Amino acid sequence: MMQQTTKKRTREGIVVSDRMQKTRVVAISREKKHAKYLKYHTVTTRVKAHDEQNEYKTGDRVRIEETRPLSKDKRWRIIGVIANNANKGK
């Protein structure tokens, strides 16, 4: 039988919490158009993402990828950093 591979969803977001071990909370922002007033506003979704080495810190801009359920709330994993936190040296 032939295996079907599905393309996993990827998103970009900012790490907003690094207090849990091996888990980071990532805020994903997007612009949404209002149905009646036709103006754009920002909608933010917070998701929990797996970070095996605890290497990403608050403020880092990261790319995350959808994965199988890893825990009750964790459905994403961090696949790389786009930009590091500017306050790391302080």
Confidence tier at 86 by pLDDT (50, 70, 90): low
Contact status, residue 26 vs residue 76, Cβ threshold 8 Å: yes
The predicted model scores a pTM of 0.85
Mean pLDDT of 45-65: 96
What pLDDT, on the 0 to 100 scale, is given for residue 35? 97
Mean pLDDT of 24-39: 97
Cα distance between residue 67 and residue 70, in whole Å = 8
Domains and CATH numbers, the chain: 10-83 (2.40.50.140)
